[in-house]
Amino acid sequence: MSTKTTLGIFGLGTVGTGVVALLRDNPQFDIRAISVRDRGKTRDLDFSHFEMNQDPFKLADDPGIEILVEVAGGIDPAYEVVKRAIANGKHIVTANKELIAKHGPELFALANQHNVTIFFEAAVGGGIPLISTLQRGLQANRVSRVAGIVNGTTNYILTKMEREQKTFADALAEAQAAGYAEADPTDDIEGRDVVYKIAILSSLAFQAPIEVDKIYRQGITQITDLDIKLAREFGYRLKMIGLAQRGESDALDVRVHPMLIPVGHPLAGVDGVNNAIFISGSAVGEIMLMGPGAGRYPTASAVVGDIINIASAVKLPDFAQYFQLPISSNVSEVMPIGESENGYYIRLETHDSPGVIGHLGSAFGTHGVSLHSFTQRGVTEDGTATIVLLTHQVKEKQLQAALEEITAHPTTKQISVVLRVLS
């Protein structure tokens, strides 16, 4: 009987190619078959000696395959293929954040039932060993907060805007030209990608799943180079953040939005396509893991690490139980954004008329919002004044009430952007 661990690889794109390249000369593994959408496609490497098919369910049904490696992405058909493979007794290694964020609890339960495991190190933070850190390395801790830069595309765009004074549109175009942003960048710039990732991190940190649809999300499209410049003048850098922390009630405070990060905070120094995750734990204190959050070999490093971990343990009795996730089956509530507390950065355009400042002060005062800093940027020819304010910590619903009052006032042209400040 062969002592090799047998694999089926579903997907041969950016990540799958890296996985096969790392494993092809490893005598411990036998890649039985690879599924792709289009067998005729020209590939970066020569895969002609592998059995290739266009039906991933064949991998799920093949009794000769021990581990199904899902690096295709998306829900359809990955969800059904993975379920079928689990039901057939196969272990799963996946890089698919959407699959784990949306269907993780159901898949973990199914895996427990069939005594197999699901590893997903590459699903968040690419090559950074983050999932295993939360799952195993930090077991002695009560984690109170996870805050991460987990989308390289938005971090690249914001870095370009700051360092090279680019507009959002120019920085996005550069990210696309460099291959960091998709032709349709919506999932990245509107924060959807980060929602999946923070949902996964939250479920590991707080050991309870949450529903992705409940997570508040704000993208980076409203941010201008002026905001980045002003934030810097106030002592902050702008970053797209996935945040998950314990709230006052049982509900978890989980959200995705750009934030002003104090320049001295470790997350403020994370530039370009890098990812970083800042974790606060009761015993360890504060740690930050940083590194390449995407790319062929960094991501393949995480996938192959999972494969090797499973292969080295798979022959042990009850091995799957050892790797069972300590995640409750009860879904945790997510705190409504109005209940969250933040400092705020607000940029608004007003008519340049007497009494504007007094009115703003009174509207904020009425709703208990206390101001930290204030600046006015010139007045345009059409009599528009740009005013930028920073507030102290306040409940979001109080801020929103003040902003409603300000919006209704005749001297207000528009509230252009409201951003939160990390404390």
Ligand X SMILES: NC(=O)c1ccc[n+]([C@@H]2O[C@H](COP(=O)([O-])OP(=O)(O)OC[C@H]3O[C@@H](n4cnc5c(N)ncnc54)[C@H](OP(=O)(O)O)[C@@H]3O)[C@@H](O)[C@H]2O)c1
Active site residues: 197
Binding test (CB under 6 A) with ligand X, winner from 6, 8, 9, 16: 16
Residue 122 binds ligand X, judged by CB under 6 A: yes
Binding residue (CB under 6 A) for ligand X from 31, 36, 93, 210: 36
Computed on alpha carbons and rounded to an integer, the radius of gyration of the chain in Å comes to 24
Query: Residue 38: CB partners within 8 Å, gap ≥ 6?
Result: 54
Q: Which is nearer to ligand X, 150 or 238 (CB)?
A: 150
Task: Give me the helices (H) in 24-151, please.
Answer: 56-61, 78-87, 97-113, 131-132
Q: For ligand X, which residue has the nearest CB?
A: 13
Nearer to ligand X, 123 or 385 (CB): 123
In 36-96, alpha helices (H): 56-61, 78-87
> Binding to ligand X by residue 72, rule CB under 6 A?
yes
**Least CB distance from residue 95 to ligand X, whole Å?**
3
Q: Could you tell me how many residues of this chain bind ligand X (CB under 6 A)?
A: 25
Q: What share of the chain is helix, strand, coil (3-state, %, to 5)?
A: 40, 25, 35
Question: Which window, 244-252, 268-276, 291-299, 317-325, contacts ligand X (CB under 6 A)?
Answer: 291-299
Distance CA 233, CA 243 (A): 24
Find the binder of ligand X among 126, 209, 242, 281 (CB under 6 A): 126
Residue 354, both tokens? 């007497």
Give me the half-sphere count of Cα atoms (radius 13 Å) on the Cβ side of residue 43. Answer: 21
In the complex with ligand X, the residue whose CB is nearer, 95 or 422, is 95
Among 5, 6, 14, 155, binds ligand X (CB under 6 A): 14
Interface with ligand X includes 155 (CB under 6 A)?
Answer: no
Is there binding between residue 95 and ligand X (CB under 6 A)? yes
Residues 353-372, one symbol each (x = binds ligand X by CB under 6 A, - = not), give --------------------
Look at residues 128, 151, 340 and name the one whose alpha carbon lies nearest to residue 240. Answer: 151
Among the residue ranges 6-14, 177-185, 371-379, 383-391, the one whose residues contact ligand X (CB under 6 A): 6-14
* Nearest to ligand X of 39, 229 (CB atom): 39
Our CB check for ligand X shows the closer of 73 and 343 to be 73
- Options 11, 148, 242, 305; binder of ligand X; rule CB under 6 A: 11
Verify binding: residue 73, ligand X, rule CB under 6 A: yes
CA angle 63, 68, 74 (to 5 degrees): 135
Nearest to 253 by CA among 342, 160, 345, 180: 342
Cα torsion 408, 410, 414, 420 to 10°: value is: -50
- In the chain, the amino acid numbered 407 is T
State in angstroms the smallest separation of the CB of 70 from ligand X. 8
Q: Are 78 and 70 in contact (CB under 8 A)?
A: yes
Provide φ and ψ at 128, rounded to 5°.
-75, 125
- Output 103 or 409, the one with its CB closest to ligand X: 103
CA angle 213, 214, 219 (to 5 degrees): 75
Whether 227 contacts 238, CB under 8 Å = yes
92 binds ligand X (CB under 6 A): no
- Confirm or reject binding of residue 35 to ligand X (CB under 6 A): yes
Question: What is the rounded CA–CA span in Å between residue 166 and residue 168?
Answer: 6
At residue 118, φ and ψ (nearest 5 deg) are: -125, 120
Query: CA–CA separation, 341 vs 420, rounded Å?
Result: 9
Residue 299-338 contact track with ligand X, rule CB under 6 A, x = bound: x---------------------------------------
Please identify, among the stretches 31-39, 175-183, 355-363, 390-398, the one whose residues bind ligand X according to the rule CB under 6 A.
Answer: 31-39
The residue range among 9-17, 202-210, 242-250, 318-326 that interacts with ligand X, by the rule CB under 6 A, is: 9-17
Would you put residue 126 in left (φ > 0), alpha (ψ -120 to 50) or beta?
left
Least separation in angstroms between CB 368 and ligand X? 43
Q: Which stretch binds ligand X (CB under 6 A): 11-19, 153-161, 206-214, 394-402?
A: 11-19
Binding track, positions 40-59, relative to ligand X; x by CB under 6 A: -x------------x-x---
Copy the structure tokens of residue 401: 């009430």
Task: Give all strands (DSSP E) within 79-208, no chain letters.
Answer: 91-94, 118-119, 143-149
From 4, 13, 371, 395, residue interacting with ligand X (rule: CB under 6 A): 13
Are 153 and 180 a contacting pair, CB within 8 Å? yes
Span of 14-22, 230-238, 266-274, 407-415 interacting with ligand X by CB under 6 A = 14-22
- Based on the shown chain and the rule CB under 6 A, indicate whether residue 294 belongs to the binding site for ligand X: yes
Query: Which residues are 147's β-sheet partners?
Result: 243, 278
The site for ligand X (CB under 6 A) is made up of: 11-16, 35-38, 41, 54, 56, 71-73, 77, 95-97, 122, 126, 294-295, 299
